[in-house]
Amino acid sequence: MKLYGYWRSSTSYRLRCALELKGIAYEQEPVNLLESAQRGEPYVARNPFATVPMLEAEGRDRAQSMAIIEWLDEKYPDKPLLPADVEYRYLARELGYAIATELHAPLNLPVLKYLKNEFGQDQDAIDSWYRHWLAKTLVPVEKRLEALDTGDFLFDKPGLFEAVLIPQLYNARRFGYSLSDHPRMTQIERACMRLPEFERAHPGNQPDAH
Amino acid sequence: MKLYGYWRSSTSYRLRCALELKGIAYEQEPVNLLESAQRGEPYVARNPFATVPMLEAEGRDRAQSMAIIEWLDEKYPDKPLLPADVEYRYLARELGYAIATELHAPLNLPVLKYLKNEFGQDQDAIDSWYRHWLAKTLVPVEKRLEALDTGDFLFDKPGLFEAVLIPQLYNARRFGYSLSDHPRMTQIERACMRLPEFERAHPGNQPDAH
């Protein structure tokens, strides 16, 4: 498998976490978002969404990180990212998809560029925007974790939810969002960061990190 | 089951399509987004995301439409929304999640309100924003459909992808986005709109439509 990604892209980071947790070997091919390499040929012919990550696997160029994570778990049932129980699967997906659907898009680089270039917003306004949407989703995720009385992980070991959460917390810190009212998710973060899988997936440890 | 939703919310519409396709009976309880009912008590205590839809089902208040759709398909295997084949499941999810993750959030009502209230953007600017993000995802979805040489549906019958697509096309029309370069998805739309399931799920046919 070959992963086309960018070291600091949260969806690339998410997919690296998932691949590492499943113990699947992959090569990496960096795509430089700052140089808009994702919109150049031949990349865009393979991935018309012009996004990272893209996973070349089993004869197909796969372009959407959540769909890829679900596929990995169905295609390679070893080391599952979702629990076996249908109700627990729902809980992991509710929290994972909350972050992936509500939170990812307004914080995505093309959106931030649009705010700057089309709406003339300065960095302070963009930082406030970023923190506003982080709070809107991370606060209720924290409430759900509290109701579930989580410990080091959502369930007994990290999986889909943790693969989505950890990159978003990395982003939250970059944008100065305070996690002090989020003890449940920061406990999960600390537990994950002690694992070699998350260490290997970290942006700072990627070939294109700078 | 009881569905808390809003007639014109695309995620409520998406979940109605899924429930109808699965043939699952449900009651409806409208939540008036224009009066911010989703942020009032007791709703927000049950759904801390303060969003619609919420599905009360099997003893839990379920809050994320894509997680609910996946859960419905696992809990009630009759009339599946995803095909059985792992590769086809990937394809349906790639296109469905592209719309749900990339496209939903920047077009969501709270985001549009933020652009108006915090960034002082007028309706023309907001309409351009809306159409910009529609194009960024719908154009590559159309390309994927073309590569798959689709007919009336993504596969042999409508499922997860169509439940996500149809509400987004309804939104696209509302915001004056031209679908003339999207023959594959409009063929799917026409085929779906001939089915009683999609007719019943349509915003205009909900108890709170006005």
Q: Does A36 touch chain B (CB under 8 A)?
A: no
Rounded Cα gap, residues B141 and A26, in angstroms: 27
Report pLDDT digits (tens) over A53-99. Answer: 999 999 999 999 999 999 999 999 999 999 999 999 999 999 999 99
For residue B144, the chain A residues in CB contact (below 8 A) are: 48
Q: Are the C-beta atoms of B145 and B187 separated by less than 8 Å?
A: no
Interface of A with B in 136-195 (CB under 8 A): 136-137, 139-140, 143-144
In chain A, pLDDT over 70 holds for what percent of residues?
100
Q: Would the pLDDT of A104 be above 80?
A: no
User: How would residue A38 be classed by pLDDT, with cut points 50, 70 and 90?
Assistant: very high
Rounded Cα gap, residues A85 and B189, in angstroms: 35
The single residue listed with the structure tokens 């600017």 is B125
**Residue B54 β-bridge partners:** B4
Look at A25-29, B9-13, B126-130, B190-194 and tell me which has the smallest mean pLDDT: B126-130
Flag if A140 and B49 touch (Cβ within 8 Å).
yes
Is 3.40.50.620 the CATH classification of the domain at A2-79?
A: no
Indicate the SS3 state at residue B60. Answer: strand
Indicate the SS3 state at residue B47. Answer: coil
User: How would residue A137 be classed by pLDDT, with cut points 50, 70 and 90?
Assistant: very high
Rounded Cα gap, residues B55 and B5, in angstroms: 9
Residues 6+ apart with CB under 8 A from B194: none
Q: Does B129 touch chain A (CB under 8 A)?
A: yes
ipTM rounded to 2 decimals: 0.96
Look at A86-90, A98-102, B58-62, B165-169 and tell me which has the smallest mean pLDDT: A98-102
For CATH 1.20.1050.10, the residue range(s) in chain B are 86-197
If you compute the radius of gyration of chain A from its CA atoms, what whole number of angstroms results? 17
For residue B118, the chain A residues in CB contact (below 8 A) are: 125, 128-129
For residue B111, the chain A residues in CB contact (below 8 A) are: 106, 133
Strand order in the sheet with B2-5: B27-30, B2-5, B54-57, B60-62
For residue B86, the chain A residues in CB contact (below 8 A) are: 71, 74-75
Tell me the torsion sign for CA atoms A24, A29, A33, A39. negative
Residues 6+ apart with CB under 8 A from B178: none
Q: Among 3.30.365.10, 2.40.170.20, 1.20.1050.10, 3.50.50.100, what is the CATH number of B86-197?
A: 1.20.1050.10
Rounded Cα gap, residues A29 and B86, in angstroms: 26
C-beta neighbour count of A173 within 10 angstroms: 11
Q: Is B59 left (phi over 0), alpha (psi -120 to 50) or beta?
A: left
Q: Which among B64, B130, B132, B142 is the top mutation candidate for probing chain A, defined by the most A β-carbons within 10 Å of its own β-carbon?
A: B64
- Cβ contacts from A onto B, under 8 A: 127
Report pLDDT digits (tens) over B181-205. Answer: 999 999 999 999 999 999 999 999 9
Q: Are the C-beta atoms of A43 and A37 separated by less than 8 Å?
A: yes
Query: Would you call B89 exposed, middle or buried from its count of C-beta atoms within 10 A (0-12, 13-18, 19+)?
Result: buried
DSSP per-residue letters across chain A:
-EEEE-TT-HHHHHHHHHHHHHT---EEEE--GGGTGGGSTTHHHH-TT--S-EEEETTEEE--HHHHHHHHHHH--SS-SS-SSHHHHHHHHHHHHIIIIIITGGGSHHHHHHHHHTT---HHHHHHHHHHHHHHHHHHHHHHHHHHT--SSSSSS--HHHHHHHHHHHHHHHTT---TT-HHHHHHHHHHHTSHHHHHHSGGGSTT--
pLDDT at residue B105 in the model: 73
pLDDT at residue A103 in the model: 83
Report pLDDT digits (tens) over A160-184. Answer: 999 999 999 999 999 899 999 999 9
Flag if B139 and A102 touch (Cβ within 8 Å).
no
Flag if A67 and B143 touch (Cβ within 8 Å).
no
For CATH 3.40.30.10, the residue range(s) in chain A are 2-79
Residues comprising chain A, all counted: 210
Residues 6+ apart with CB under 8 A from B152: B187, B188, B190, B191
pLDDT at residue B5 in the model: 98
What are the structure tokens assigned to A205, written together?
């440890």
Of B48, B101, B128, the CB nearest to A105: B101
Rounded to a whole number, what is the distance in Å from the CA of B88 to chain A's nearest CA? 10
Rounded Cα gap, residues B207 and A93, in angstroms: 30
Q: What average pLDDT does the segment B115-130 reach? A: 92
Of B105, B115, B125, the CB nearest to A105: B105
What are the structure tokens assigned to B164, written together?
């996500």
pLDDT, chain A, mean:
95
pLDDT at residue A93 in the model: 98
Query: Would you call A90 exposed, middle or buried from its count of C-beta atoms within 10 A (0-12, 13-18, 19+)?
Result: buried
Look at A54-58, A135-139, B102-106, B144-148 and tell me which has the smallest mean pLDDT: B102-106
